[in-house]
Structure 1
Amino acid sequence: MEPDSRQNAIAFAEALLAQAEARSGFLPVLRVWLLQYERFVSGTGGGSASESSNAVESTQLSGTVIQAREIHGNVQVQTEPPPRPPVPHQLLPVPADFVDRQDDLTALERIRTEHRGDSALIVAVTGPAGVGKTVLVSRWLKLLTPAFPDGQLYADMTGYSLSGAQRPSDVLDRLLRALGCRQVPAELAEKAALWRSLTAGRQVALMVDNALSAAQVRPLLPGGGSSLVAVVSRRRLMGLGIDGAAFHTLDVLGAEESVELLSRRIGNQRARDEPSSVRQVAALCAGLPLAVCVAAARMAARPQQSVAAVVGAMTEKTRPLEAFRLDGDRVVEAALDESYRALEPEVARVYRQLGVLPVDVFCLHASAAACATDVSSMGDLVEELIEASLLEELGPHPATGQPRYRLHDLIRLHAAHRAAQEEPDTASVDTERRFVDWYLATATAARTLLSPSHRRLRRDYAFPPPATSDFEEAETAWDWMHSEGPHLMQLVRLAAERGWDAVCWQLVDSMQPWFLRARPYDLWVESHQLGLAAARRAGHSEGVSRMLTTGGSGMYNAGRLDDALDWFTQALRDARERGDRRAEAQALHGLGQTHRLADRLQQAAALFTEALDIRSDIGYRRGAALSRLCLGDVALAADRPDEARLCLGRARAELLAVQDRYDAARALAFLGRAHAHPSLRGYAEAVRLLSTALGEFRSAGSVHWQARVLEMLGETAQEQGALETARRRFADSLALYEPVSPVDARRLKEHLHKIGWGSPRE
């Protein structure tokens, strides 16, 4: 080819290239063709025009291709537009046996319908691993398909995967392509901007699953206000709050829902054949849908195996989480491991230590003591665990207002297992002991405020707590002890099991106000049996004496009068051997009360008198007043109302003088009954005194004595012939007695039957 012709051809190709600048499919072909042609006409390519054409053919090209030996005149290219991509429907399928979480679906829909503003709605659905967040959100968004005609997209951020979390940039690549974008920018900022542009006029729903942080989600937020972003995470992602996100926390399934899910998976007939065993399996799963599904899969794979056999296999595991294996995979444990690996080292340490606590609900101060951390730092650490959905906040303590927390049952097992794997044995034991010592100190502080005149006995701490709950009022101290009574009982059992003998009996001693006012008779007796054995092993004579006398009181209140006589007799012998006159008087007083309850009034009076003499002699004013109160009760039972009135009036004044308002209220109640005696003709005064005593017991929180005073009011009304009033009083008393004292409840039913209301067996 001549030089001029060559130059003309090159110029023509360059002009054609300029005209095709906007045609993305044609542009690469022209560039390759021009390059090859320049090499040919310049003589540097080494080959003929046909060889150059072959080179073009061998190049990997896409789009419209023009291949020609010579071009004369204009070149016109017509291309078909690329096919429009289908509307994306990428949401994960919802299992057919989805258990209807109607309350959660309603809450999410309320958030959607109440959304206002020009920006997309962002909803963060959070909760622990395996609780069913992804399934719930998929179900919700599928129900909303008509509201998002431009598509429903899904992005898994793999925030807890061993392979690492997805980069927002990579996720945006897929999202942009799903909406038909063929040329994706390289930079994250440009991708995010293009994503916002593409979605600005569209109605799309985006589900962002397994998100690890707000920063990971933020570049994926669409433009415009007609779209919805549902973010699923084990973390709370509070950082999305600045983007206007709404939050919904998903809890575990209830017992009935767990049974329903299990029944659907194994077959309703099989579940109906063994309903009790199905409920046991559901309970072992602790409401975690992932655990329920694993258990169901194991049963479905063995249709000939009974559900009871599955329960046995699950409960015989030395490690309960081992029961949730599937095809060799530790499904539930692996899911929790993923959350655990994401924790910072100090947060992970606290997680392990909380897993070995002997109670399932704990307050901030107690957990700080257990973890050897100051309260302020502990607050930050538990916030991290809450953020990771590994710890649940329950709201303030009803008495102290301190934050309270709980580990889900299976999460608690996981934390304990991690502690067993990663902590020295002594570390976990020390955690338990610090926790117990905090409770001992706090219960002792409450007892001191509730019973200021009681003699204080020794306390032995392995780890003296840095701080306990400060009770400014007796009412707050009682509210704390009443709510924590069951936890204290768990710690008594733990101390006995661990061989912490001193702490064991001292915990029992600190719980006396709870035993006296709440009257949990079975726990009263059990705790003192453990405490007495512990005090004897520890060689603490004062502890032995205290356990025998306060435990004897529990025996006679529980109706075990022979056991009470035995315990008080042991206490009397022990006190006399040691020359402890105060303990001797206490044992005599207990023996007197036991005989009084057995209606042996003469023996009771003699024993109370002997106790009164000793207490008066040693200057024990409160003890003397209590003996005088009991002598008044005996006189009342012996039909000597004048003597009773004098004893009881004096006892009340003396008890008020030593700030014992609880026992002063007891004296007032008996005094009211004395005034109701026919010989005194003081019915109105009796009702006034009894009503005052009832108010004082309500303030003290003593359910038992509220019921007892209502019973006294009923008896007083019955004696006056006011049967309708008596029935009301007895019925009110019965309602209080039934949850705490079957023996007293039976007596009230007898009362009601005698005045023509119901059968004594009803």
Structure 2
Amino acid sequence: MRGHEHSVNELSGTVHGFVVQASSVHGGIHVSGPAAPEETPPPWQLPPAVRITDRADALRALEVHRNRASAEGHPTLAAVSGLGGVGKTAVALAWLHALRPDFPGGQLYADLGAQAPEGPADPGEVVARFLRALGVPVGQVPSTLGERVALYRSLTADRRLVVLLDDAATAAQVRPLLPAGRCVTAVTSRRRMPGLSLDGGHVIHLEPLSADAAVELLDATLADGRVAAQPEEARALVLLCAGLPLAVRIAGARLAARPKQGITSMVRALSEERERLEALAIEGDHDVRAALDLSYRGLPPAAARLYRLLGLHPGREFGVPLARTLSGGEAVEALDALHDANLLVDVAEETGGERYRFHDLVRLHAAERAARDGSAEERTTALLRIGHHYLANACRAEQVVEPGRDSLERNFARGVEPGAVAAEDFAPVEGQTAAEAALDWLERELPNLMAVVRHARAMGAPEIAWQLTDALWPLFPRRKLYREWLESHREGLLTAEEEGDGEACCRMLTSGALGRLATGDHAEGLAMFERAAVSFEERGDALGHARTLNYRGLAHQRLGRLDSAAELFARAADALPALGDLRAGALARFNLADVALAEGRYEDAAVDAEASRLVLEAAGDAYNAARAAGLTGRACVGLGRLDRAEAELSAALSALRAQAAGFEAARVLGGMAQLSERRGQPHQARQLYREALSLYDSVGRSGSTEAVEAEARLGALEPPEARARPEAPEADPPPPPAPGTGPSEEERERGGAGT
């Protein structure tokens, strides 16, 4: 046997699987165990490279900087700045794609949206996407920016990868996104970013192409000999394009579509447009707009109309279904025409699916054409169609994730029927549930959905702001999208108040206040719940008012006002069942038991928790019934009823682990550790505390009151020489929750069927 000095190991038969060490073994042995998890493949997110001309000096300078940083053992950081359309992204892509053989750890890409109508991308959300791309499960992405950045840099410390941060707004936006180790990061921005020099960055500013280089690019775009046949005209044309690669490619694409047309006609047309396009100038790019106008005039009527309507879209990207909602059966052919004319960028390779976006200058031009060429009725109808497209599809996703939810009424009576809206595709892929697929779609489209919320009043349909916010409710707590949770409810409440919709105001207050509690702003959450309570009372909604009793109690409890919390929970526990909401009444009684446990009133806690569990089980709420059983078990530990405590805690732990409820499972483990302490089993208690702490960490709740208490009790049990917290638990923790596999803990603890 292992550990005995004179033991003899004899083995006969066949061994399958693991190595076995024992004194004597006879017969065949089969040992099974969990399969090793598959390693997450490296992410390859960079968009494809495009042709560049006359940028050898820039590429050489980038390589010199990389070699110097590598020799010094530092990460490589380079910033490429310049005018819109000058080719910053093209240069960065050419450089980074060439590095792929030496950087097998992958490629990360993020559009930081400095020019986006909805504002620059939030670094915390970008880091979260990077973490998921690097294999971090959704449920284990930390909730705060600092924790996300720390994990991101830990994961990249020993990994050779490249990162492209495209269209950055400021150096401050970039800094949290810089990887560690010997990674290479390229940043593009329309602004010079000398601040990145403080971070070891090398800043390169791109100027427009020289006339010769622009002519070369035009020749490559046409590839038909016209440039060689008309060199002077070609030179005049690229000068009118201001040396911007974007403008040269657009002019070249238009000429390529007309093989019999001479370059002279394009030069003449651009020259004639210069005065008329003066008002459209941004950063002095007059001739770019002339080229865009010419491309627009050459479009088929259906494509020109779709171009104008898409210019009204408030987000950065869109898919084919939105185009179908705007232009019906002509959408696909019109999109192809826009793409062929270089007026749309196909981002399918970056994001998957059929998706497009405008270059920033093109988007502004499309919006201007909509204002000039389209009628007011056409613009109004298009805006309503865009808003209702996202509302209708978000409602479909909501019903998949949470069927039968008590939602606010959806109003499609403003000229757009739901049947006129093209359906987005969020069918599950292999290994995915329908709910996961719907949540993925909501999260992927969230920038567009939030843009619609912000622009609802300008669209002429302010009610979309609160209706869409309400439809997004299943997403916010499950994916912990706190910034959007708060912003959308703020805008939804404002529009509901302006329109005088009392029911919508109450929903925005209660759902928004739950977001405040989730982010630790308990005082503001309480104030919002109290406003909702007044509104419910004024409207004569007794059930809505009774639900706010429970919500207000939660806010008081988190503010440490246990007496006030207990009084509100007791009132809710009496009122809600009388008004027909048995489940919410049981949750209020559970919360009452939780306060009693915190105050050491173990008998009261046990009685209320058990009564709550019986009602919740009858209501089919297995999650909250398990929470109640866990609370009963912890109360029994305090009462010294150790056998009952063990039975309750064990049953609760099994149920909570099956539902991937990490935080509540950790609380039960803490109760089991205290039970072991009462039984004089310090070693087992230490193991359980460590397991609980590991679980608190995995769900981002390491700073919670429960986690701090568990750490303190573990410290008191540790021998003096081992008081430091270990890096890993002695026992295997439960598996992390799968993303989107059911209600989040915030959702399941709300206290009512609807907010």
Q: TM-score range by the shorter chain?
A: 0.5 to 0.7
Change in Cα spacing, 1:715 to 1:259, as seen in structure 2 (3 Å) is same
Residues 583-632 of structure 1: CA distance to partner in whole angstroms, max 9, x if unpaired? 11122121111122123333323322322333212222443343234234
Corresponding position: 1:391 with 2:344: yes
2:283 paired residue number: 323
Tell whether 2:326 aligns with 1:363.
no
The answer as to 2:365 corresponding to 1:405 is no
CA distance in 2, matches of 1:396, 1:692: 42
Query: SS of the residue aligned with 1:97?
Result: helix
Q: How far apart, CA to CA, are the structure 2 residues paired with 1:498 and 1:751?
A: 52
- In structure 2, the CA distance between the partners of 1:727 and 1:324, relative to structure 1 (3 Å rule), is farther
> Which residue is equivalent to 2:554?
593
Q: Which amino acid aligns with 1:464?
A: E
Aligned position for 2:581? 620
State the one-letter code of the partner of 1:442: N
SS of the residue 1:405 aligns to: strand
Letter in 2 for 1:373: G
**Cα distance between partner residues in 1 of 2:384 and 2:670:** 49
Match of 2:696 among 722, 733, 749: 733
The alpha-carbon distance between structure 1 residues 470 and 603, as it changes in their structure 2 partners (threshold 3 A), is farther
Distance 1:708 1:411, change over 3 A: farther
1:352 maps to: 308
TM-superposed deviation, 1:749: 7.6
Paired letter, 1:633: D
Change (3 A) 1:600 1:380: same
Which of 496, 508, 519 is the aligned partner of 1:547? 508
User: Counterpart amino acid of 2:517?
Assistant: Y
1:233-632 superposed matches below 5 A: 322-325=282-285, 329-331=286-288, 333-337=289-293, 339-369=295-325, 371-374=326-329, 377-395=330-348, 403-452=354-403, 454-461=405-412, 462=414, 463-466=416-419, 467=421, 468-469=423-424, 473-496=434-457, 500-632=461-593
Provide the secondary structure at the position in 2 that maps to 1:362. strand
CA shift for structure 1 position 330: 2.4
Alignment of structure 1 residues 144-183 onto 2, 5 Å: none
Please list every run of 5 or more consecutive structure 2 residues that lacks an aligned counterpart in the other structure: 1-50, 64-83, 96-163, 169-183, 208-213, 218-237, 246-276, 428-433, 677-681, 716-722, 727-755
Secondary structure of 1:623's aligned partner: helix
Which whole-Å CA distance do the structure 1 matches of 2:324 and 2:614 have between them?
A: 44
SS in 1 for 2:306: helix
Cα distance, 1:495 vs. partner?
Answer: 1.9
Counterpart Cα distance in 2 of 1:136 and 1:584: 57
Moved more, 705-714 or 410-419: 705-714
Paired with 1:388 and 1:656, the residues of 2 have a C-alpha distance of: 62
For residues 592 and 577 of structure 2, what CA distance do their matches in structure 1 show?
Answer: 14
Structure 1's 559 and 253: CA in aligned 2 closer, same or farther, altered over 3 A? Answer: closer
- Residue pairs, 1:8-27, within 5 angstroms: none
The one-letter code of the counterpart of 2:541 is D
Contact 1:676 1:686 in 2 (8 A): no
Tell whether the 8 Å contact from 2:613 to 2:625 is kept in structure 1 after alignment.
yes
Looking at structure 1, the residues matched to 426 and 514 of structure 2 have their Cα atoms a distance apart, in angstroms, of 27
Residues 248-271 of structure 1, C-alpha deviation per residue, up to 9 Å, x if partnerless? Answer: xxx9978789768999xx9x9999
Q: Provide the rounded CA distance (Å) in 1 between the counterparts of 2:386 and 2:566.
A: 45
Contact 1:625–1:655 (8 Å) recurs in 2: yes
Counterparts of 2:670 and 2:205, CA distance in 1: 45
Structure 1 residues 396 and 735: alpha-carbon distance in aligned structure 2, compared to 1, 3 A threshold:
farther
Partner of residue 199, structure 1: none
1:373 aligned counterpart, secondary structure: helix
**Aligned-residue offset at 1:437:** 1.5
One of 641, 645, 653 as aligned partner of 1:690 = 653
Secondary structure of 1:512's aligned partner: coil
CA 1:261–1:426: 2 relative to 1, 3 Å? closer
Deviations 1:178-207 (A, max 9, x none): xxxxxxxxxxxxxxxxxxxxxxxxxxxxxx
Preserved contact between residue 351 and residue 385 of structure 1 (Cα < 8 Å): yes
Corresponding letter in the other structure for 2:395: T
Q: Which amino acid aligns with 2:503?
A: E
Report the CA distance between 1:557 and its aligned residue. Answer: 3.0
Does structure 2 conserve the Cα–Cα contact (< 8 Å) formed by 1:569 and 1:587?
yes
Distance in 1 (alpha carbons) for counterparts of 2:350 and 2:198:
43
- Secondary structure of the 1:359 match is coil
Larger Rg: 1
Q: Cα deviations across residues 451-494 of structure 1 (Å, max 9, x unaligned)?
A: 44543322222223324458784343333334444443332222
Indicate how the Cα distance of structure 1 residues 653 and 718 shifts in structure 2: closer, same or farther if over 3 A, else same: closer
- Rounded to whole Å, the distance in 1 between the matches of 2:93 and 2:595 is 70
For 1:686 and 1:453, locate their aligned partners in 2 and report how far apart those are by CA, in whole Å. 32
In the alignment, residue 383 of structure 2 is paired with which amino acid?
E
For 1:354, the aligned partner's letter is: L
Q: Helix, strand or coil for the counterpart of 1:419?
A: helix
Q: 1:497 to 1:253 in 2, by over 3 A?
A: closer
Query: Following the alignment from structure 2 to structure 1, what is the Cα–Cα distance between the partners of residues 556 and 621?
Result: 25
Structure-2 change in CA distance of 1:569 and 1:385 (3 Å): same
User: Cα deviations across residues 299-325 of structure 1 (Å, max 9, x unaligned)?
Assistant: xxxxxxxxxxxxxxxxxx998962153
* Cα offset, 1:363, TM superposition: 3.2
> Relative contact order, CA 8 A, sep 6+: which one is greater?
2
TM-superposed CA distance for 1:563, in Å, is 2.5
> What are structure 1's unaligned runs of at least 5 residues?
1-90, 104-127, 140-250, 283-287, 296-316, 698-704
Q: Quick one: structure 1 residues 356 and 455, their matched pair in 2 at CA, closer, same or farther if it must change by over 3 Å?
A: same
1:97 to 41, 57, 74: 57
Two-structure CA RMSD over aligned residues (Å): 5.3
- Cα distance in structure 2, aligned partners of 1:272 and 1:640: 60
- Following the alignment from structure 2 to structure 1, what is the Cα–Cα distance between the partners of residues 561 and 417? 47
Q: Is the 8 A contact 2:322 2:386 kept in 1?
A: yes
SS class of match (1:330): helix
User: Could you tell me how far apart the structure 1 residues matched to 2:335 and 2:622 are?
Assistant: 40
Q: Residue 86 of structure 2 contacts residue 244 of structure 2 at CA under 8 Å; is this kept in 1?
A: no
Please state whether the residue corresponding to 1:515 is helix, strand or coil.
helix
Distance 1:648 1:93, change over 3 A: closer
Residue 287 of structure 2 aligns to which amino acid in structure 1? R
Query: For the residues of structure 2 that align with 1:717 and 1:673, how far apart are their CA atoms?
Result: 10
Q: Secondary structure at the match of 2:573?
A: helix
Structure 2: which amino acid aligns with 1:364? V
Q: Which amino acid aligns with 2:521?
A: R
SS of residue in 2 equivalent to 1:559:
coil
Shift of 1:511: 2.3
Cα gap change, 1:342 to 1:604, in 2 (>3 Å): same
Residue in 2 that maps onto 1:302: none
Match of 1:23 in 2: none
